Structures are given as structure tokens and as C-alpha cells.
Structure 1
């Protein structure tokens, strides 16, 4: 019997670089957010205040991302055999939930303001929104240079990217108010911001939920992977196959593999690990490899190498095992 473990890292950017980019974006957002709250109150603009609230969640998302990165970097110890890597996933879920809660509030306020609009200073809204676009584009560029395979970083990125689009809508509403005096445009812009928040929040909760429920990573079909493994030379059967993510960007796989009686278990294990790494970028594998019994072999002669329990027929390899 052979048991193999493969370990690797799917991050192309160092954690130190990620932290610098996130801190730079945090500084830009925090400074602008404070000014936007003041201008939003003076201008009487719900769109600006909703943008400011969105920026508050941006800052919150970045702070959570930085904390989660520090926690996740701690080495495995005690009962936490994978370390605390899933702190990043909990951060992403909290970011998504925050977006949904704020969206609900601004949907309510947006409808109320649309039905009963108040005075809005269109000029102040337009100027502030244009500056906000510049700030958010700069912050988005900074975070975009970090490792976005992490749901933690992706959560912060999605917050800021959506806010840049929201500022564009707010700028349009400010221009409409300035040129026509139709103040309901401000409420419509806030409703648009809320819709963006719902879209981003739902995506974050969905993706983080898949990791927490140990579903196969998006884009990976366990049935396809099992058939591919069963079709390799010397393999009689693959069963107890599990594919999941330790954290975002860190897929893992475990399986029990039966090989032909004269097959080299260690060679089969190395071949499968290399295949999984090259084709699916699965860097953490645990393969239990055994020789097949006579019963297994007779079954294999009838059906060819199999992936159990899916029982996907595979090609006959003849005498290609060494």
C-alpha cells in the first residue's frame, strides 16, 4: 500500500505585497469616505450617503481581509491541522452579509425618498461623485494587483469595484438634478447602488458557502476527475473520491485507488498526483493506493477500470502497466 501527500501554494503574489496593496487602498477609501459623509449631509443626497456607507463596508472588508490574512498565516497547531486558513472564508461571508443588510436599508430609504423627495444639491453631488470615481478606480487598481484567487481579497475587490460603478450612477444623478431639478434621480441612484450591493453580497456568500460546505471547487467535476484517474495505466478502480477546498485557491483531493496485482503502487500514485497537479492545479492530494484483489480484478475484466460509485467505464490498458 502507498499513501501520498502533495502540498503546494496557489498564490502568485506574496502575502506581504497583498497587505501593502490592501493598506494603500484602505488609506484612500477612509480619507475620502469621511469627506463624502460631510458633503452628503450638506447636499441632502441619499445617493452620496449610500455611497459613503458602501465605502464604509469597503473599509470594513479590507480591515477584515488584513486580519484574516494574518490569522490564516498562522501555522497548523493542536487540533487545527490545516491551520486557520478558513478565517478568510468567514471574512468573505461576513462581507457578503454586510452588503446585503446595507442594501436592504438603502432599498427602503430609496423607495421612501422617491415617493417623498427632498431638496438635493446636484452640483455638490456631481463633483463628489466624480472624485469618488477616481478614488475607487485607484483603490481597485491597488487591490487588483493582490492575489484575487483568495475569496478574502476578492471580497474586498468586489466591494470597491461595485462602489466605482455606483459612483458613476451617482454622478449621473447629480448631473440630472443640476440640469433639470428632478431630485428623484438621487433616489433612483441609491436604488441602483443597493442592487449592486445585493449582486456582490450574494456572490460572496454563495462562493464562501461552497467552501464551508466542502463542495467541489467551481469548475471541477468529481465524476470527470474520477473517470480520468480510472483511465490511467494500471488502475483497476477508484473509489471514496472527495474533492473540496481547504480555503479559496487551495483545492484538495483524497481517494482510494486499486491497481493491478503486478502494478507499482508508488509509480501509480506519482502519476496520478502529477496529473491532478498539471490538469486541475490540485496541490494537496491524499491517495491510498493498494493492489486489487482477485474479486476486484474479475470485476475489472468485465467492466474495465472503474470510478466507484459512479461506475464510469474506462478504456482497457492491456499490458501497459510497469
Structure 2
């Protein structure tokens, strides 16, 4: 029966025997190599959206426009989403601690999940309002010209806010959720603008709720992917784009490796991926294996935080296997 000894305190190639390698190109507790979007951008986007919410609320009540009021509610949910995203971005800049050794990278994932759920909830409320207006149409449509003006301002502000938050790491799901949320808001406001134009030309009462239902479908389609991606990351699922079988096969093909087990891959944050694995190698072989494997995992799969444990079979077993 083969025996495997484990020594978590020794590096591969020492005279002490088997090794546990934890090799990184960065220092301890440094799990935010990709800086998030600057906090002032979140602050400015929040301020701009708060301003448009106030304008839409005042105009909606003054013009008796449920479309503007619904858009104001949607923009208000956007503000809350931005606050969550900004808070998470700030947390991601903090160093880890003895209790939170991975830092606060998962805050971005949780914020993205909350942001996506918030948007789905807002879509449900908007769809309910649209159906209600189809069943119980108002006595008269709101003035189309003013609706177009207010909605046009909202479109510009939402697009500007989305542009402010573009950049950063391309796989930052927290930032991406905030940007999608803003662009979805611009689409909602664009639908209100279009509805205002048709109302201005035709006076039809059904245009606004039909346009709102169409926009809800578009928003849900764009939000669904981020919702499930952030849920997967919150549950430590293997990040999308990484093939576990491919990683396992690649590890098994490394020189001297006879078996791979206890392979786990999960996201540390919205931008970093961790891996742990046990590699079985015959005694007396495997020099330089950990450094080679960690470099290769980063190069081939984008896994920048691997922890590799080498298990050595005893010499009798090695000779029997040969």
C-alpha cells in the first residue's frame, strides 16, 4: 500500500521530503491586483441619478404621468444598486486580515447579486404597472412633449453614468452589473421617450404600457446572465470559462505526476480565481514542479492563486510500479 506524507510547512525541493506549495506573484493578503473603478466615479454617478429621480418624481406628479413615476422608481433602484456597487468597490481596496485572509473581494460578488435581484424586482413592478394601465387606462394621456423632455434627460444621465463606470478589470462582475443596470435604465427611459413621442403624435393611451412591457423583456435578458454568474460566484462554483476536466488533464500531464486528486477551483473575488490540488509524484522526482505548475496555471487558465500539495509515494512503491 502506498504511503503519502504531507508537510505543509516545506517547499518542494527541500531535503525534508514532500511539499506544499503556495506560490504567488504578489505579497500576503494582496488579492486585488486589478484595481476597481475609482470611488469618485461611483459618487458622481449616484449624484447624477439622484438628481434625475427628483426631477422625474416632481414631473410625474405634476403631469400625472405614471410612466415618469415608474421610471423614477426604476432610477431610484438604480441609485441603491450604485450605492451597493460603490460600497463593494471600496471594500475591495481593503487589505485582508487574520480573520478575512482572502480580503473583501467577495463583497463585489454579493453586491452584483443584490444589484441583479434588485433589477429583476424593478422589472416585476414595472410590468405590473404596465398591465394595470392596459386594463385600466387613464382618462387622458400625459403631455407627450414634456414626457419626452424628461425622459431624454434621463437617457443622457444614465448613459453618462454608465460611461463613468466603464473600465477596470473586464471580469469584475460587480462593476459590470452596475454598468448593465445603468444602461438598462437608459433603455427604460428611452422607451418612455419613444412612448411620449407616439402619444404626442397620436394621443393613444396604450402606447406607454406596451412599450414598458417590451423594455422589461430586454432588461431581463441582459440581467439574467449576470444574475446567475454572481450567484455561481457567491456559491464558489468554478468560474465560467474554466474547464475543470481540462485543468485536471493538464495537471496530470506534467512531468512526474502520476495522479491528481482533491482538485478545487473557485473565485476569490470578481477578478481572481483560486485552485487547490494534490499531485502524486514518485519519491525523488518532481523538482521544480510547483513553480512550473503555478506559472502554467496562470498562463493557460488565468488561475493566479494556486495552492499545490505534492504527495510522494515511497520508494518501494515506486520500484514496484516501474
Question: Same fold per TM (> 0.5)?
Answer: yes
SS in 2 for 1:76: coil
Q: Which residue is 2:310 aligned to?
A: 289
State whether residues 29 and 136 of structure 1, in contact with CA within 8 Å, keep that contact through their aligned partners in structure 2.
yes
Residue of structure 1 equivalent to 2:100: 80
1:227 equivalent to 2:234? Answer no
1:203 to 215, 225, 229: 225
Q: Does residue 198 of structure 2 align to residue 176 of structure 1?
A: yes
Distance apart, 1:231 and its partner CA: 1.0
* Residues 60-104 of structure 1 deviation map (CA, whole Å, 9 limit, x = unaligned): 111111212223333322432223322222212221221222222
Structure 1 residue 47 and structure 2 residue 64: aligned? no
Q: How many angstroms apart in 1 are the aligned matches of 2:133 and 2:89?
A: 40
Deviation of 1:274 (Å): 0.4
> What is residue 312 of structure 1 aligned with on the other side?
none
Structure 1: distance between partners of 2:110 and 2:22:
27
8 Å contact kept, 2:41–2:164? yes
The answer on whether the counterparts of 2:45 and 2:161 sit within 8 Å (CA) in structure 1 is yes
In 1, the alpha carbon distance for the partners of 2:89 and 2:321 equals 47
Aligned equivalents of 1:289, 1:12: Cα separation in 2: 27
Which residue in the other structure is 2:275 paired with?
Answer: 253
1:22 equivalent to 2:39? Answer no
What's 1:100 paired with? 120
Evaluate the alpha carbon distance shift between residue 136 and residue 12 of structure 1 in structure 2; reply closer, same or farther with a 3 A threshold. Answer: farther
Q: 1:168 & 1:49 partners in 2: Cα distance?
A: 14
User: CA offsets, 1:46-70, max 9 Å, x none?
Assistant: 3322222221122111111121222
After superposition, give the CA deviation of every residue in 1:97-147 in whole Å (9 maximum; x if it has no partner).
Answer: 212222222211110101222122211111222222221221111111344
Give 3-state SS (helix, strand or coil) of 1:249's partner: coil
Which 10-residue stretch deviates more, 223-232 or 46-55? 46-55
1:236-291 per-position Cα deviation (integer Å, ceiling 9, x unaligned): 111111111012111000000112433234x1111110010112221111100132
Residue aligning to 2:158: 136
**2:23 alignment partner in structure 1:** 6
Structure 2: distance between partners of 1:46 and 1:52: 10
Q: Which residue of 2 aligns with 1:268?
A: 289
Q: SS state of the match for residue 4, structure 1?
A: strand
Gaps spanning 5+ residues in structure 1: where? 302-322
Q: Name the CA distance, whole Å, in 2 between partners of 1:2 and 1:34.
A: 62
What is the Cα deviation at residue 228 of structure 1?
A: 0.9
**Residues 259/13 of structure 1: CA separation in 2 closer, same or farther (3 Å cut):** closer
Q: Tell me which of 280, 284, 306 is aligned to 2:301.
A: 280
* Cα separation, partners in 2 of 1:205 and 1:177, compared to 1, 3 Å: same
- How far does residue 195 in structure 1 lie from its aligned partner after superposition? 2.8
Structure 1 residue 13 displacement after superposition:
5.7
Match of residue 61, structure 1, among 66, 74, 81: 81
Deviates more, 1:269-278 or 1:19-28: 19-28
**Deviation at 1:174?**
0.9
1:204, distance to aligned residue in structure 2 (A): 3.4
- Which consecutive residues of structure 2, in runs of 5 or more, have no partner in the other structure? 1-17
Task: Note the C-alpha offset of 1:40.
Answer: 2.2
Contact residue 250 and residue 283 of structure 1 kept, 8 A: yes
**3-state SS of the aligned residue for 1:164?**
helix
- Using the alignment, how far apart are the partners of 1:299 and 1:27 within structure 2? 72
TM-score normalised by L of structure 2: 0.84
Per-residue CA distance 1:176-198 (angstroms, 9 max, x = gap): 11101112111122223433443
